[in-house]
């Protein structure tokens, strides 16, 4: 893989040692690496370079990782974002995924695990654009799975990546009941541990945007998509 065609990863962390270690290990895997030392700089670099993936520290002075993630998501729904968080930090997974994160990686970071998680995220993102049916048309509600776009009554709806992935999953098979385990595995992946509340929060936010007619709760089991 040449540098010109390498996947670009942006690392945003206020600790120089972390930046250096991550840069070294990612460059060994032939990734193109860009570094930012705070949230403001990370936001500017994300806008300028359009990286495929951002490794974003949660606890930073000034604009923290949560706020930075929200601002990036307001500009781009497709960039993959993985939070870097130290054990013992006052960090809520729900808050992170709510802000639009795709994954989180715990410090101290083990290089092999880091690379494995990054490659898994990139594989899942690559698979999403290979769907045979890229337009899911339900009349008022239209979902474009190739371009990560959702429309209701012709108006485009902004959705963080995980909300979109959950809606796409449910809408891909109307009437099928997806268990919570199904949703966790297919939207977050096997390597990520999230609680039931994370799923519930995402469903609530999706309903706020498309209405209550499409997603039905199957008590004690999971969720299903119904034609309104």
Q: pLDDT tens for residues 127-185?
A: 443 444 578 888 899 999 888 889 999 899 999 889 999 999 999 988 899 999 899 88
Write out the residue limits of the CATH 3.40.50.2300 domain(s) in the chain.
8-128
The whole-number average pLDDT for the span 46-73 is 92
Give the CA distances from residue 22 to residues 86, 91, 113, in Å, rounded to whole numbers and listed in that order: 15, 21, 12
pLDDT at 56: 94
Q: 228 pLDDT band (50/70/90 cuts)?
A: low
pLDDT at 207: 96
The whole-number average pLDDT for the span 33-39 is 96
For the chain, what is the largest distance between any 2 Cα atoms, rounded to a whole number of angstroms? Answer: 53
Token output for 176: 């099928």
Q: Report if pTM > 0.75.
A: no
The whole-number average pLDDT for the span 23-49 is 94
CATH for 8-128 (3.20.20.70, 3.40.190.10, 3.40.50.2300, 3.30.1600.10): 3.40.50.2300
pLDDT at 4: 44
The whole-number average pLDDT for the span 101-106 is 82
Q: Write the CATH number of the domain with boundaries 135-225.
A: 1.10.10.10
DSSP summary character for residue 109: P
The count of C-alpha atoms lying within 13 angstroms of the C-alpha of 68, restricted to the half-sphere facing its C-beta, is 33
Rounded to whole angstroms, how far apart are CA atoms 43 and 56?
A: 10
- Asked if 99 and 77 count as a contact pair (C-beta separation under 8 A), the reply is no
pLDDT at 29 over 50: yes
E strand segments, the chain: 8-12, 32-36, 53-57, 80-86, 103-107, 135-138, 141-144, 149-152, 155-157, 177-179, 215-218, 222-225
Poorest-confidence range of 38-42, 93-97, 125-129?
A: 125-129
pLDDT at 96 over 80: no
Q: 87 pLDDT band (50/70/90 cuts)?
A: low
Rounded to whole angstroms, how far apart are CA atoms 98 and 103?
A: 11
59: left (phi over 0), alpha (psi -120 to 50) or beta: beta
Poorest-confidence range of 3-12, 31-40, 55-64, 181-190?
A: 3-12
Residue 101 three-state SS: coil
Length, in residues, of the chain: 228
Mean of per-residue pLDDT scores for the chain: 85
Rounded to whole angstroms, how far apart are CA atoms 140 and 121?
A: 31
Q: 1 pLDDT band (50/70/90 cuts)?
A: very low
Q: 2 pLDDT band (50/70/90 cuts)?
A: very low
Write out the residue limits of the CATH 1.10.10.10 domain(s) in the chain.
135-225
Poorest-confidence range of 9-23, 107-121, 173-187?
A: 107-121
Share of the chain above pLDDT 90, in %: 47
C-alpha closest to that of 51 among 102, 111, 98 = 102
Name the strands in the sheet holding 135-138, side by side, starting at the edge strand that comes first in the sequence: 135-138, 141-144, 149-152, 155-157
């Amino acid at each position: 893989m040449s540098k010109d065609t390498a996947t670009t990863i942006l690392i945003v962390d206020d600790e120089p040692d972390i930046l250096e270690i991550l840069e070294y290990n990612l460059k060994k895997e032939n990734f193109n690496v860009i570094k930012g030392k705070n949230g403001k700089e990370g936001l500017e670099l994300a806008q300028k370079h359009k990286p495929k993936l951002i490794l974003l520290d949660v606890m930073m002075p000034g604009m923290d990782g949560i706020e930075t993630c929200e601002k990036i998501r307001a500009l781009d729904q497709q960039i993959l974002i993985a939070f870097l968080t130290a054990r013992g930090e006052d960090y809520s997974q729900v808050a992170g995924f709510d802000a639009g994160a795709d994954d989180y990686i715990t410090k101290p970071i083990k290089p092999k695990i880091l690379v494995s998680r990054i490659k898994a995220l990139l594989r899942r993102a690559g698979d999403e654009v290979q769907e045979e049916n890229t337009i899911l048309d339900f009349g008022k509600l239209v979902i474009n799975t190739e371009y990560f776009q959702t429309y209701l009554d012709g108006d485009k709806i902004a959705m963080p990546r995980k909300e979109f992935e959950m809606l796409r999953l449910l809408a891909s098979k109307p009437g099928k009941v997806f268990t919570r385990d199904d949703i966790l595995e297919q939207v977050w992946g096997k390597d990520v541990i999230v609680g039931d509340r994370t799923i519930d929060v995402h469903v609530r936010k999706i309903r706020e945007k498309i209405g209550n007619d499409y997603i039905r709760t199957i008590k004690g089991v999971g969720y299903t998509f119904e034609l309104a």
